[in-house]
Amino acid sequence: MKAIVLALALIAGVSAVPQRNFAAGFAKDQRNLIETIIENIVKLVINGIQARGLDPLYVESAEGSYTLFGLEDVFSATGSVSELAFEGSSNIVINEITYNLFGGNINLDFTLPKLSGSAGMFK
C-alpha cells in the first residue's frame, strides 16, 4: 500500500513540474527578433529623413511639366508652387508590431501625429 501511495505521489510530483515548450519559446524569440528589426528599420528611415533635411521641408518656388511617354497629345501637365512648407514626416510613432511566425504575417500599426503642410500658391 505504501508503495502505491509513493508511486502516485511521485507521478503527481513529476506532472506538476512545469514543462518548457521549446517551439513556443523559439517562436517568441523569433517574433521579438523580427519586431526589433522592423523597429530599427523605421528608426533608420526617421534618421534618413532628418539627415537629408526633409523635415521640415521648405521650397520657395518650383515649377515643372510632365508628359506621358513623351506623347503630348495623350497626357501633359504643367504646374508651379511657391512657399511650400511640409513638416512632420519624421514624426513616426510605432503603435504596435505583430509578427506571426507560422503564418508569416507582419502587422505594423504606426501614426504620423504632427504632419502638416501648406502652400502659398499652387497652380
Q: What angle do CA 92, 93, 98 make, to 5 degrees?
A: 115
Q: Where are the domains of the chain?
A: 22-122
For the chain, 123 residues long, give each residue's pLDDT as a single digit of tens. 555 544 555 455 545 555 555 555 555 666 678 888 888 999 999 999 999 988 888 989 999 998 888 888 888 899 999 998 989 988 999 898 887 777 778 888 999 888 898 988 888
Instruction: Identify the pLDDT of residue 51.
Output: 92
* H helix count then E strand count, the chain: 2, 5
